[in-house]
Amino acid sequence: MNFSKSKGILAYFAVAAVILVFLIFGFRSLMKGADTTTFSDVIAHFDDYSVSEFSLNLGSGELKYKLSGGDDVYVYKVPSVSAFYNELFNETRNYRDEYNETHEIPLKYDLIPASNSSFWLNLIPTLLMIGVMIFVVISMSRSISSAGKISTVGKANVKPELDSKNKVTFADVAGADEEKAELQEIVDLLKNPKKYQDIGAKIPKGVLLVGPPGNGKTLLAKAVAGEAGVPFFSISGSDFLELYVGVGAARVRDLFDQAKKAAPSIIFIDEIDAVGRRRGAGLGGGHDEREQTLNQLLVEMDGFEVNNSVIVMAATNRRDVLDPALLRPGRFDRQVYVNYPDIKGREEILKVHSKNKPLAPDVDLKQVAAATAGFTGADLANLINEAALMAVKADRKAITAKDLSEASIKVIAGPEKKSRVVLEQEKKLTAYHEAGHAICHYYCPTQDKVSEVSIIPRGQAGGYTMALPDHDKSYASKSEMTEEIVTLLGGRAAEKVVLDDISTGASNDLERATKIARSMVTKYGFSDKLGPIVYGRDEDEVFLGRDYNSDRSYSEVIAGEIDAELRALIHGAYDRAIAILSEHIDQLHTVAKYLITHEKINGDQFMRLMNGEDLEAEERAAKEAEESTIRQAVDEAHEDAHEEDSTTKHDSDRQNYPYGDDGWLDISNDSEPGKKSE
- Catalytic site positions: 434
CA distance 323 to 37: 86
Three-state secondary-structure class, residue 337: strand
Three-state secondary-structure class, residue 359: strand
Query: What b/e string do you get for 326-356 counting C-beta neighbours within 10 Å, with b at 16 or more?
Result: beeeebbbbebebebbebebbbbbbebbbee
CA distance 214 to 375: 9
CA distance 139 to 366: 64
Question: In which region does residue 348 sit, left (phi positive, over 0), alpha (psi from -120 to 50) or beta (all else)?
Answer: alpha
Residue 273's Cβ-side half-sphere holds a number of Cα atoms within 13 Å equal to: 14
Strand order across the beta sheet in which 232-236 lies: 159-160, 232-236, 265-270, 310-316, 206-210, 334-337
One-letter amino acid of 189: L
Return the closest-CA partner of residue 180 out of 213, 212, 214, 215.
Answer: 215
H helices present in 236-342, as ranges: 247-261, 289-302, 324-327
Residue 419's Cβ-side half-sphere holds a number of Cα atoms within 13 Å equal to: 1
Strands 232-236 and 265-270: parallel
Return the closest-CA partner of residue 611 out of 627, 587, 589, 579.
Answer: 587
Under 8 Å CB-to-CB from 15, ≥6 apart: which residues?
none
Three-state secondary-structure class, residue 40: helix
CA distance 174 to 184: 14
> CA geometry: angle at 190 spanning 187 and 194, to 5°?
125
CA distance 309 to 23: 63
Question: In which region does residue 12 sit, left (phi positive, over 0), alpha (psi from -120 to 50) or beta (all else)?
Answer: alpha
